[in-house]
Amino acid sequence: MEHYQSIFTHLNQSLRSGNTDGFKALVNSISREVLFIDLSSSSLICGGQAYPYLELHRFLKPLSIRYVIVVQAHTPFPETSLLPPSWLRLSGWGHSLWQAYAELYALNEISPGRTSLPLELKVMSKTLQLCRLEDLRKAFRERNIVNIFGWVYNQEQKEVTDLNTDLLLTLDEISLYNNPEYMLS
């Protein structure tokens, strides 16, 4: 967890200092044990290389990554639709994140005059989709992967915000530790 925290802190400090060519340049400089999923461009970034999202399976078998970070940057084209919570429902690992997603989705669905949905929902939705992948569930269960983290990148403010998706997933990990059948349910 300390390594993740140092990555997050380094990125934010570098962005604020202005001594960088931007977020993508910084991400490209991070080691191969970190897989960034860039939702703005539907690409994967690992070890300085970009890959199409469709190549995700490459990174899951055999698992060569320890950290998965889902990133959404502010874009001029706001998100107007997402998968409803009922389609992303999870039990076991991912259930606490699903509950938070369902609550935020409901709050934003009923807002009158809303023309876009928060970027946080898009990051949470993708994280839930990742939690459904059996290879990733197995890697987490076997402690080959540390966690899935969610970020929103604000280019104007030169800042990355951590959505704490990992903490919600860790709640489920604690339940798993106390009851090994929890993850399998």
pLDDT tens digit string along 169-181?
877 766 655 665 5
The identity of residue 7, as a single letter, is I
pTM above 0.75, yes or no: yes
Q: Looking at residue 144, which CATH number applies to its domain?
A: 3.40.1050
Give the range of the structural domain holding residue 176, as residue numbers without chain letter: 2-184
Structure tokens at 65: 């990554």
pLDDT in tens, 103-141: 998 888 766 666 566 889 999 999 999 999 988 888 887
- At 99 the pLDDT is 92
Q: How far apart are CA 132 and CA 152, in angstroms?
A: 22
pLDDT in tens, 55-92: 998 887 766 788 899 999 877 666 667 888 999 988 78
Residue 30 CA to its chain's centroid (Å):
16
Look-up of token digits 């993740």: 4
Structure tokens at 59: 């990174």
Which residues lie across from 128 on neighbouring strands?
none
Q: How far apart are CA 164 and CA 162, in angstroms?
A: 6
pLDDT at residue 184 greater than cutoff 80: no
Looking at the structure of the chain, the number of domains it has is 1
Considering only CA atoms, which of 70, 120, 6 is closest in space to residue 14?
6
